[in-house]
A = this chain, B = another copy of it.
Amino acid sequence: MTLWGGRYRGSSDRRMRRFCDSIAFDHRLKTVDVKGSIAYANALQQAECISLDERELLLSGLQRILQEFEAGEFLFVEEDEDIHTAVERRLTELVGQVAGKLHTGRSRNDQVATDLRLYLLEQIALLDGALAALQTAIVTKAQMHLGVIMPGYTHMQQAQPLLFSHWLMSFFWKLQRDRERLAESRKRTAVMPLGAGAIAGHPFGVDREALAAELGFRAVTQNSVDAVGDRDFVVEFLAWAGLLQVHLSGLAEDLVVWSSREFGFLAVDEAFTTGSSLMPQKRNPDALELMRAKTGRIVGHLVTMLAVLKGLPSGYCKDLQEDKEAVFDAVDTLCEELRLAAQIVLTLQIDGDRMAAALDEAMLSTDLADYLVRKGVPFRESHRLVGLAVRRAEDLGVALSHLPWEEYVAIDPRFERDLHGVFDFEMSVNRRTAVGGTARGAVETQIARAQLLLNHTRSTRE
């Protein structure tokens, strides 16, 4: 028996049912579905659609179902199309025909949209916590290795020396933006569609604002047609997830490359690597590689949802059912990944000596150009002169600091004997003092700001 059997003569095709039913995945909405029904029963009673006694009966049944869910004792049956029908079926078994009153003025169209939002609100809180934990790991690690200098890269070529901690903190800010975006999209997720019915709105005078308040929504939808078909919050979430994944893939890429034998700047803790079935010597950074790859997975979900929504007519269409698996998988993937990322960052083994050994004096070319700038040479000119010096040093097969002073003077007389003072990586780093620069002081300020932000969210989170 289905919810919608009255007008139907025969029964529906079994294969069709399997194809259309969503119970295989939307059972994950079970708790929020029941919570929504509890609040809705209250609202129906307040609107005098049901009596106080009927409400009590419904609530007792719904509470019992919640308990069955928690205890793992709820039995799904073949006919349960989706979580809503499963709950209604069980409620009928428990409290009889009064269960049929719970659907008064409510459609699965507004119900499922409400459920998915409630679910996502819970997950957003968890994800924000996991993000904060990863940020904390980053800050902790950055403080731990504050003196370590490493080559900074652009185009994967050595560019300028950096503090390792400065590099690491760059991910703090990416994650900070992710958290800002998550909070913003949360606002729009916390808008309640319940009471929109199938498409036209609610005819029994339910107080939607009160209902929203009871369920923890911050507002109600303003148009029932929009309410049942709106999946903006899903797209927003998946786009958010895709961008977060891009950040994680960047972190993974850096760590994979730097833990290669050739770079050797750091090692991923053994606990987060795996071996090879063929090659006894291997320690593979599998977790990081998957972190990189999951970006494809989540971007795939985003594309799925955008393509599903493209060109859909107004109101509810069954196409929207494709929203759930994408959301569930994105949530699961990211929760796991963020926790893992925090542990990997915390346990990274940093090899400051290898980093130091890798520093090439050519990276101080800009500093050498700046040296001329300080003597009044226009930067473009000094850039050209240093370029000639780099070439000359290359031709002679010597490091820039070993290029004799005479050679420098031959290029330009404004090179003076003090030029060799430039060849100091630490000084180079510490010259970048402007806000956001790699100078030690600037990085300390940066870390302090990051901690302020972390403390702030810690104190404001419920």
Contact = CB atoms under 8 A, between A and B. Distances in A.
Contacts of A284: 154-155, 157, 318
Contacts of A100: 378-381, 383
A147 interface: no
Interface stretch (A14-22, A66-74, A413-421): A14-22
Contacts of A365: 279-281
B317 A276 contact: no
A434 B4 contact: no
The 6 closest A-B pairs by CB, nearest first: A6-B387, A201-B437, A4-B275, A100-B380, A100-B378, A300-B304
A162 B200 contact: yes
Given A199-B152, A299-B303, A314 B254 contact: yes
Interface string A280-316: 1111111101101111110111111111111111111
Contacts of A107: 276-279
Main secondary structure of the interface of A (DSSP, over half): helix
B250 A167 contact: no
Contacts of A83: none
27 contacts: A2-B275, A4-B387, A6-B280, A8-B275, A9-B270, A12-B273, A12-B274, A100-B380, A152-B199, A153-B314, A155-B284, A157-B283, A160-B199, A170-B226, A170-B314, A177-B188, A195-B436, A202-B432, A202-B437, A203-B432, A203-B434, A208-B436, A242-B306, A243-B306, A246-B309, A250-B309, A261-B358
Interface string A304-341: 11111111111111111110001000000000110110
Contacts of A157: 259-261, 282-285
A311 B290 contact: no
A395 to B, nearest CB: 10
